[in-house]
Amino acid sequence: MNSKRALRPSTRPAAGVTRDASLEVGQLTADLSRLMNSHDATRLVLGLLYLSRTAHVDSRLSAAPTWPWLLHQAAKGEVPIRRAVTQCLGRWLPPTDIEGNGTGMRDAMPSLPPNIEVLLRRLIQAIGAAGQVGDLLDQCLLNLSAAQAHGSHYFTPQDIVRLMVGVAAPQDGHRVLDPVCGSGGLLVESHRYVSERVGVNPTMVLLGKEQHAHTSQVARMNLAVRGIDARIFPPGDSLAEPETVPYDIVLANLPFNQPAWAPKDRQDQPLVDPRWLDELPPKGSANSAWILHIAHALSTQGRAAFLMADIAAKSPQPATRRLRERLVRDDMVECVIALPPRVFGHTEATAGLWVLNKDKSARPGWGSADRRGQVLFINARRDFELIPASRARRLGARHTNRILTALARWRGLPECGSADLPHRDEPDWSRSCTTDEITHRLYDLMPTTYTAKPPEHTSSTGSRIYELKRELIEMLEEGHALEPRLLDALEEI
């Protein structure tokens, strides 16, 4: 990681310049996407944003190309700017292989076509005049997420990020881990969340792991441009080994219904892994393995918030049901939130946000209510809004605040306007249940099971259609999740 001094821009343009330059960068990015594929164009812009905040001084090599040098090259127009950009990127960008070793992203740089010279010069100058680049960085990550969503390497939407960090409620001094950190968005939001509450740069420890080398590099750039001190581990599979130190907070947007949790040569290993004390996770799905991995990583008062496909909350498969039984028996489940369908953009799969907590007793930093032996279920299936000028959906600020307020009241926290207002169940939306009732229902953790209104003699046609549609979506998703296990069974016959 570069020092904080190296992360500061060399100059700060006037406030009026920043907005105009930001708009120009956005337009130039769109123009570049017509000459290159959108994925490469976005990575190029992201790399230049990173250079503008880091490539200023190199005490080890005075002749190294710096950002001021690149700005000068773009302005004078005497040399091909593509060559200058390649030099700067190769020197300054973080490596994609082993942290702190290597020569940048030479193996990952997009090919720059010759017809982008004019656009490239204008782009460099616009970034140089932009001043604060947080909004530009956010837009780059949105573009990159959209470009690679077809491969399920999307980045978590910002409203979901805010919800996840809000329910986990990290504190100053906490150790925070994201084992599938993607672009580092959950770590960025954790830093912002704590900074707003302590009023100074927090002393928390932020750590991220990512399997894909190029995405790991994006996370390093994202955090560095914002001046956030965090460690992104070398690329690797987080499930390969258990965590060796405990964490106060674990945040994760897990891969939905990942078909396998370990290489085939390790799936029959003996029970020596501390994460699977009783039995190995099911071979055909990584859902259980991820949940056990996260639970094992928590400290004695640790909390976790992670996204999980609905199949894990209700599957009748014996191994999955035993996992839920273990979590309920250990009183680790704090809250399960059913999220609206299609808020992730890349998939029709329905999912929920699980909140685990090793200690639900009343205490500072968590709440004044003792919630041991209780679980809060929230059915936010209908809590979405349409994104303007598109058919896409998002959770939105209003629905995010509603969920955070309900959980704060249940915990007894003076957050989100919840002071002095006790929790009250809301039919068809939220309900606090005892672990005894969950046990009676065979450890079903689907919020819709507990929050549903009592059956009425009459109901509207629209309401019945909605319920039938929801049930059909859940059955289709369950069938899709069972496909890998059915194929495994057929191969063994």
* Average of per-residue pLDDT across 327-345: 92
Report the pLDDT value the prediction gives residue 238, as an integer from 0 to 100: 94
Give me 67's structure tokens.
């950002």
In this predicted structure, the answer to whether residue 156 has a pLDDT above a threshold of 80 is: yes
The band of 104, judged by pLDDT with boundaries at 50, 70 and 90, is very low
Pick the more confident residue, 110 or 93.
Answer: 93
Pick the more confident residue, 212 or 460.
Answer: 212
In this predicted structure, the answer to whether residue 150 has a pLDDT above a threshold of 50 is: yes
**Strand blocks (E) in 209-316:** 231-232, 247-253, 298-309
Report the pLDDT value the prediction gives residue 259, as an integer from 0 to 100: 78
Report the pLDDT value the prediction gives residue 98, as an integer from 0 to 100: 52
Report the pLDDT value the prediction gives residue 373, as an integer from 0 to 100: 98
Percentage of the chain exceeding pLDDT 70: 78
Pick the more confident residue, 390 or 190.
Answer: 190
Q: In which order are the strands placed within the sheet that holds 205-208?
A: 231-232, 205-208, 175-178, 247-253, 298-309, 351-357, 333-338, 374-379, 430-434
* Average of per-residue pLDDT across 447-473: 69
Percentage of the chain exceeding pLDDT 90: 45
In this predicted structure, the answer to whether residue 492 has a pLDDT above a threshold of 60 is: no
Report the pLDDT value the prediction gives residue 4, as an integer from 0 to 100: 32
* Average of per-residue pLDDT across 64-76: 87
In this predicted structure, the answer to whether residue 244 has a pLDDT above a threshold of 80 is: yes
* Average of per-residue pLDDT across 124-131: 86
CB-based burial of residue 203 (10 Å sphere; 0-12 exposed, 13-18 middle, 19+ buried)? exposed
- Return the domain boundaries, the chain: 4-146, 152-451
In this predicted structure, the answer to whether residue 191 has a pLDDT above a threshold of 90 is: yes
3-state secondary structure at position 187 = helix
Distance CA 251, CA 179 (A): 8
- pLDDT one-digit tens code per residue, 4-25: 323 333 333 333 335 566 678 8
Measured at the CA of 189, the angle between CA 183 and CA 195, to 5 degrees, comes to 140
Report the pLDDT value the prediction gives residue 255, as an integer from 0 to 100: 86
In this predicted structure, the answer to whether residue 456 has a pLDDT above a threshold of 80 is: no
Of the given ranges (325-329, 351-355, 473-477), which has the lowest mean pLDDT?
A: 473-477
Q: Answer whether 304's CB lies under 8 Å from 168's CB.
A: yes
7-11 own/partner pairs: CB under 8 Å, 24+ apart:
7/53, 7/54, 7/224, 7/225, 7/227, 8/53, 8/227, 9/52, 9/53, 9/131, 10/56, 10/67, 10/68
In this predicted structure, the answer to whether residue 170 has a pLDDT above a threshold of 90 is: yes
Smallest CA-to-CA distance from 345 within 139, 141, 148, 149 is with 149
Identify the bridge partners of residue 363 per DSSP, sorted by sequence position. Answer: 367
Report the pLDDT value the prediction gives residue 9, as an integer from 0 to 100: 32
Pick the more confident residue, 385 or 132.
Answer: 385
Of the given ranges (171-175, 187-191, 262-266), which has the lowest mean pLDDT?
A: 262-266
Q: Answer whether 234's CB lies under 8 Å from 98's CB.
A: yes
In this predicted structure, the answer to whether residue 190 has a pLDDT above a threshold of 60 is: yes
Tell me the CATH architecture of domain 152-451: 3-Layer(aba) Sandwich (3.40)
Distance CA 368, CA 410 (A): 9
Report the pLDDT value the prediction gives residue 409, as an integer from 0 to 100: 94
Report the pLDDT value the prediction gives residue 257, as an integer from 0 to 100: 74
Report the pLDDT value the prediction gives residue 8, as an integer from 0 to 100: 31
The band of 266, judged by pLDDT with boundaries at 50, 70 and 90, is low
Identify the bridge partners of residue 352 per DSSP, sorted by sequence position. Answer: 308, 338
The pTM of this model reads 0.83
Amino acid at 241: E
**Strand blocks (E) in 234-373:** 247-253, 298-309, 333-338, 351-357
In this predicted structure, the answer to whether residue 155 has a pLDDT above a threshold of 70 is: yes
Report the pLDDT value the prediction gives residue 87, as an integer from 0 to 100: 86
3-state secondary structure at position 322 = helix
* Average of per-residue pLDDT across 373-386: 95
Q: Mean pLDDT across the chain, nearest whole number? A: 82
* Average of per-residue pLDDT across 167-182: 96
Pick the more confident residue, 175 or 476.
Answer: 175
- pLDDT one-digit tens code per residue, 418-441: 456 789 999 999 999 999 999 999
CB-based burial of residue 69 (10 Å sphere; 0-12 exposed, 13-18 middle, 19+ buried)? middle
Of the given ranges (53-67, 308-322, 365-379), which has the lowest mean pLDDT?
A: 53-67
* Average of per-residue pLDDT across 93-102: 61
In this predicted structure, the answer to whether residue 1 has a pLDDT above a threshold of 50 is: no
Q: Strands 333-338, 351-357: parallel, antiparallel or unpaired by DSSP?
A: antiparallel
